[in-house]
Chain A
Amino acid sequence: MGLRGWLGRLAVGVEVPVFPVVGGGAREAIQDLRLRPELELVDSPRHAAVMLVVGAFPPGDVDGLAQVHDQLAPPRRTVRWGGEPVASLPDAVVVDGGEDAVVAAITETFAELMSDPDRGEPPILPDVDPVEWRGVGPYGQGGMGMTGGTPYGRPMAERGPARDGLELDRVPITIGPWLPTLPPGLRLDVVFQGDVLQEVEVGPAPIVPGEGSDLFVRALTEPVPIAEMELARARHHLRLLAEILRVEDLAVASRRALRLVHGIRPGATGEVERLAAALVRAGLYALALRGVGRLDRPPPGPAARATGVAVDARSDDPEYRKLGFEPVTVEGGDAAARVRLLLAETVQALELAAKAGPARAGGRGVVEAPRGRLEVGEPPPERTLLDLAPEVLVGQEWGDAVTIIHTLDLDVEAAGREIPV
């Protein structure tokens, strides 16, 4: 055994660096994997040894998957968890079963890979230039036909006025849909100037909505237990909080929020309140969120309640009124206000779940879902939020844009669903 084989055997005990590619219906499953001590979910394919493909995709070749595969540094392997095999990834190890099964498959695949690093998957695509390279200098400068337009299969940076009146390069680029920093399936076609977004369009999502019934959609047509709905709201808010904390580089607090998702009980608000206090001490608001993404006219829902407007479909529900429900509001309208609201609503939801007992609400054709007002015959709140995204993101620096995307709780998959009439 050579040195590489010996090092490979030594490496087997490390968390397997996994790059997740998330299709429809798999957002929660992949988030739960972040708590598994055997794995480390990484943000760049360059840092991964295993590409994990999970969720529902359209049939045929899925846009960009082969490129992502080839960006993993060798040695690499692919694991497909659940669903149909993906045509773009012919060599993937296919796993059915639950979380334990996929973790076992990934660790086993990684151990095999490390014991014989030369047996990784070869590239899928040919390593050739997209079009003939006609540059002269080492960086392509000076070649005939290498300026303007898309001479090399890549759009060239063209100059344009920036916000401070200077002329700066404008770089068109597509970000997503497989970037773990963004919500699954979100594809942004943007024009950058420096790190400021000058143009933003939300591209088509190459994922298929997952199966499964949504409690809040069911509550449109039939009464469901209030306690169940409120616990679902608390879980949703904590999952979103975990994601926000992750992109703000608070990994310890993010895992704490994620563990709470699985441990919450009606009325048990203490741990959420302690987490809220810890986030203040960690400087989440002061360092990262304050003043970011202030909205003037947000759509009804949490974003509106974070501007101090008490708009909540539960206010008109007689069952909720019996429980003494009053909408929670926070002043400010920025990302900090949205996160404060998220925490306050989580506490309120746990209290309501404790108070509600067996009471049921719903069947009125309108319900307050975690992302806002869900109404029969109207587009879902996720679509309204997604339509708002380009307008809100233009003019933002990239870091702030990521904060806004997460605090607005954009969800491409839910935005694509139809509400039954």
Chain B
Amino acid sequence: MNPVVSVLFVGGVLGIGAYVVAVLDRAFGPVSRGPRDWFVWPIRRAAFLAVQRRTETERPDAEAWILAPALLAALAAAGLTAVPVTPSLAVADVSAGVVLFGAAMIIVMVAVFLQGWSPNSLFPLIGAYRFAAMALSFGIPFSLVVLTTAIPAESLSVGAIVASQEGLWNVVRQPLGLPVYLVTGAAVAFWGPFRIPEGTDLAGGAVLEASGSARAVWRIARAGVLVTLSVMGAAIFLGGHLGPVLPGWAWTALKTLVLLAVFVWSGHAFARMRVERFVWFGWVVLLPVALVDVFASGILAL
């Protein structure tokens, strides 16, 4: 794809996706004033953040503070490039697409750490360290279930993984994969019960000191990560653009919307998990389930 078109395409998908996340978040959230409000509220909220000034803290790491949201948005964009939206339309359906996506999602940890570190403030710093402490616990099972989808396709290309689901979607072939992906994906996006680095106990944690445009960009970038996770989840577990009657892009959009709705709903449905409990859950529950997923898929492929 032409580089300029690619940038516009990825930016457009992330922008529209972030707006959809905000609409869904309002609809599922504690304050919901009906459908018109769901669609208008994100615009008004963005306008307020645009008017509000950015704050400065005492001796921050100013460059890193600017870099953190930009890095988060860039990682969401990088992950998105590997997914074919239709059989012929992908920004870069590279031969190791799922590896590129997995790497981008794991580096989200660096962006969150920078966001918490740079204001030179206690609660954001605790939030940053919490996420670093969580990262290995969700990172390994997340990577395992993503890579397992490559086994039936005998390829790491996302296009090939989608094509391999022509007769049977991976959500059926690998029934443990999607549940583990959704749980660990929410943790990658520090969303819902995994809002551990940004918990209310830390008064906002990593994002406590951010205001105005800095906070808006961080929120949009985080929504972008959820969009990328949903687009990729739709591609590697739900057959991506495959489906009858409707065009390929419409199937991709529909399946993405379903996963996005599940992610956003979970954000309001569960209590925030304790870090210690999460680490236990990651190693004692998620990792063994992910390993069973790998072995079962391997045996089926033999």
Binding site for B on A (CB under 8 A): 4, 7-8, 10-15, 17, 37, 40, 43-44, 46-47, 49, 71, 73-75, 114, 117, 139-140, 171, 173, 179-181, 192, 194-195, 245-252, 254-255, 282-284, 287-288, 290, 292, 397-400, 402-403
- Interface check B168, CB cutoff 8 A: no
Q: Knowing that A73-B52, A248-B272 are A-B contacts, what are 4 other residue pairs whose CB atoms are under 8 Å apart, sorted by A's residue number?
A: A46-B211, A171-B122, A251-B268, A399-B199
CB distance from B226 to the nearest CB of A (A): 17
Q: Hey, which chain B residues are within 8 Å of A15, CB to CB?
A: 31
Pair B271/A287 contact, Cβ less than 8 Å:
yes
Pair B43/A44 contact, Cβ less than 8 Å:
no
- Residue in A7, A37, A181, A288 whose CB lies within 8 Å of B273: A288
A-B residue pairs in contact (CB < 8 Å), sample of 13 = A4-B50, A11-B45, A11-B47, A71-B55, A114-B48, A173-B122, A181-B202, A245-B271, A247-B201, A283-B273, A287-B271, A287-B272, A399-B274
Pair B201/A399 contact, Cβ less than 8 Å:
yes
Q: Hey, which chain B residues are within 8 Å of A248, CB to CB?
A: 200, 271-272
CB distance from A194 to the nearest CB of B (A): 7
Q: Name, among B40, B122, B201, B211, the residue most crowded by chain A CB atoms within 10 Å (CB to CB).
A: B201
Q: Hey, which chain A residues are within 8 Å of B235, CB to CB?
A: none
CB distance from B195 to the nearest CB of A (A): 6
Contact residues of B between 203 and 250, Cβ < 8 Å to A: 203-204, 208-212, 215
- Residue in B48, B126, B202 whose CB lies within 8 Å of A14: B48
- Interface check B30, CB cutoff 8 A: yes
Q: Hey, which chain A residues are within 8 Å of B210, CB to CB?
A: 46
Pair B129/A47 contact, Cβ less than 8 Å:
no
CB distance from B103 to the nearest CB of A (A): 28
Complex Cα distance, B270 from A8, in Å, reads 34
CB distance from A253 to the nearest CB of B (A): 8
Pair A10/B47 contact, Cβ less than 8 Å:
yes
Interface size classification for chain B: 35 or more
Quick one: closest A residue to B210, CB to CB? A46
Pair B209/A46 contact, Cβ less than 8 Å:
yes
Pair A49/B204 contact, Cβ less than 8 Å:
no
Pair B29/A284 contact, Cβ less than 8 Å:
no
Pair B54/A195 contact, Cβ less than 8 Å:
no
CB distance from A172 to the nearest CB of B (A): 11
Quick one: closest B residue to A129, CB to CB? B58
Quick one: closest A residue to B43, CB to CB? A10
CB distance from A126 to the nearest CB of B (A): 14
CB distance from B194 to the nearest CB of A (A): 10
Pair B201/A8 contact, Cβ less than 8 Å:
no
Q: Hey, which chain A residues are within 8 Å of B130, CB to CB?
A: 195
Complex Cα distance, B54 from A74, in Å, reads 8
Pair A194/B30 contact, Cβ less than 8 Å:
no
- Residue in A49, A71, A250, A287 whose CB lies within 8 Å of B277: A287
Complex Cα distance, B123 from A173, in Å, reads 11
Pair A282/B269 contact, Cβ less than 8 Å:
yes
Pair A49/B48 contact, Cβ less than 8 Å:
yes
